[in-house]
């Protein structure tokens, strides 16, 4: 079970904060390698919205909401005394990912390499299997609670329940997460990424590996152009990287405003993070709910007078990641948490 965030070993310490690169050329191969090894995350989002009002609204919410200010302190620190959990990083900048995926696309074309699997293949296997079983149980009318374990369902019994699950992977990177979901029975699959290089790589890999029906689009979650909702939205490292942007606190608020519009009512949001524990993710959602879910609830209330439930509700988390004891508490370096959309 995910518990407290544990101090990384010396070999895993993130690089000190540095100014974001003014251009792709300023991100060296060595810097990219160190950053990727130190922060085992895949992320995409740090661009500035062309809708300045949404940025201003999020900043105002951050400054005026006492509830959300407490959550923001989990991800920031006083500028005079920065810590490893609150500093910004080049992994929060689009220029870093554009450069990284340009290299990975070249490596694919020249050598057939799939690129980096963020969090590692073992974690990805856990995420897709656990998510599949959770979706099947919900389709069968059983909503697991925090006290329940998500039970394994055999392929033949479970596949029939997955045909109605539309899936969106935000910050899809090389798209391998969607390929793994396809292997487990999901068929309506879409991946978005704000890096064109990532989308090109994902499309090439999907075509090569026999998954031409997976859709990949260039799209920024913070200013999404998607006009549909999805029954299952996956985030593997994207929220982590948003928090590493210099404006990470404001952009995290924008993230919740955008994601809440993409998850269909009764659908699931599954977040995998190495920078936040399960409890921190739950607290962030609770703070978002308390500040009213932006204008979302007001809009929904106009259509449905009885719609007064918070946008998201925590239902379960992965318990099978390796854990260890620190300071009397049990912790894990990765957390995967599922939230139900009202």
| pLDDT for position 78 | 35
| pLDDT for position 158 | 62
Strands of 335-341's sheet in order across: 215-218, 188-193, 166-170, 230-236, 263-273, 335-341, 312-317
| pLDDT for position 332 | 77
**What end-to-end distance do the CA atoms of the chain give, in Å?**
25
| pLDDT for position 143 | 83
Structure tokens at 338: 């599922």
Altogether, the residues listed in the chain come to a count of: 342
| pLDDT for position 146 | 67
Could you say which residues of the chain have pLDDT below 70?
A: 1-88, 146-148, 151-158, 292-308, 325-327, 329, 331
| pLDDT for position 109 | 94
| pLDDT for position 53 | 54
* DSSP H helices in the chain: 29-38, 52-64, 66-72, 94-111, 121-139, 155-159, 176-183, 196-209, 238-242, 248-262, 278-290, 296-303
| pLDDT for position 298 | 57
Q: Judging by DSSP bridges, how do beta strands 215-218 and 188-193 pair with one another?
A: parallel
Determine phi and psi for 169, rounding to 5 degrees: -110, 110
Determine phi and psi for 10, rounding to 5 degrees: -55, -40
| pLDDT for position 1 | 46
| pLDDT for position 3 | 41
Burial degree of 228 (CB within 10 A; 0-12, 13-18, 19+): exposed
């Amino acid at each position: 079970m995910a518990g407290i965030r544990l101090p990384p070993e010396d070999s895993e310490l993130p690089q000190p904060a540095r100014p974001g690169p003014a251009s792709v050329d300023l991100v060296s191969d060595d810097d990219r390698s160190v950053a990727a090894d130190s922060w085992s995350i895949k992320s995409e989002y740090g661009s500035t919205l062309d809708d300045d009002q949404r940025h201003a609204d999020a900043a105002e919410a951050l400054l005026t909401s006492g509830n959300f200010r407490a959550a923001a302190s989990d991800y920031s620190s006083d500028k005079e005394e920065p810590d490893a959990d609150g500093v910004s990083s080049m992994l929060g900048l689009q220029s870093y990912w554009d450069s990284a995926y340009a290299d990975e696309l070249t490596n694919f074309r020249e050598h057939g390499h799939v690129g980096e699997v963020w969090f590692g293949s073992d974690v990805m296997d856990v995420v897709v299997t656990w998510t599949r079983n959770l979706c099947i149980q919900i389709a069968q009318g059983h909503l697991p609670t925090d006290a329940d374990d998500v039970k394994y369902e055999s392929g033949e019994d479970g596949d029939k329940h997955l045909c109605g699950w539309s899936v969106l992977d935000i910050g899809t990177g090389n798209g391998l997460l969607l390929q793994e979901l396809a292997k487990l029975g999901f068929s309506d699959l879409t991946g978005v990424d704000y890096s064109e290089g990532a989308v090109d790589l994902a499309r090439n890999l999907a075509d090569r590996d026999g998954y031409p029906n997976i859709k990949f689009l260039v799209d920024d979650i913070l200013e999404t152009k998607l006009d549909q909702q999805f029954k299952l939205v996956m985030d593997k490292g994207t929220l982590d990287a948003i928090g590493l942007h210099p404006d990470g606190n404001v952009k995290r608020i924008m993230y919740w405003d955008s994601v809440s519009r993409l998850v269909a009512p009764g659908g699931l949001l599954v977040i995998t993070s190495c920078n936040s524990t399960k409890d921190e993710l739950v607290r962030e959602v609770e703070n978002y709910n308390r500040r009213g879910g932006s204008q979302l609830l007001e809009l929904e209330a106009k259509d449905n007078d009885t719609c007064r439930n918070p946008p998201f509700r925590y239902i379960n988390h992965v318990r099978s990641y390796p854990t260890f004891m620190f300071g009397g508490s049990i912790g894990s370096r990765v957390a995967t948490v599922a939230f139900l959309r009202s």
